[in-house]
Amino acid sequence: MEKTNWSEERKSRANALSKKVIAAAIEVHRHLGPGLLESAYEECLCHELRLRGLPFRRQVYLDISYKGLTVERAYRIDVWVEDTLIVDVKTVETIEEVHKAQVLTYLRFTDSWLGLLLNFRVKLMKDGIERVVL
């Protein structure tokens, strides 16, 4: 896995995308509130991203390589916006370090720089947003 240096332009693009995705998540949460399954929030978030014209891929499988061995479908990303921003949808009591570590792994294996953990199990969506930077 070769590292790419992220230019300020690419970082700026990722930050701009994160603002758009956060706005979409807030809209979904405003309409649905807490209490649904992750899959429902993910589906609604993807619908909102479509409505806003943001290209994304959903449920993206990642292969990993280790000393000549390829482990196919080792991980699965919830939403990958413009192949730039990783989005991990959660409905948990609290965002734990293991959740952040998972997003960091996605970032490393996709050569991405920025990820969002979106926890919809909160009263206010702003309290459920965590930025994860590689």
pLDDT digits (tens, 9 = 90+) for 68-109: 999 999 999 999 999 999 999 999 999 999 999 999 999 999
Give the residue from 86, 133, 112 showing the smallest Cα distance to 4.
Answer: 112
Return the number of other C-beta atoms located less than 10 Å from residue 58's C-beta.
15
Domain extent listing, the chain: 8-133
**Which residues contact residue 6 at a Cβ distance below 8 angstroms, ignoring those fewer than 6 apart?**
14, 113
**Which residues contact residue 36 at a Cβ distance below 8 angstroms, ignoring those fewer than 6 apart?**
91, 120
In the structure, what pLDDT confidence band is assigned to residue 6 with cuts at 50, 70 and 90? confident
Strand-pairing partners, residue 97, are: none
Give the residue from 15, 2, 24 showing the smallest Cα distance to 84.
Answer: 15
pLDDT at residue 53, as a whole number? 98
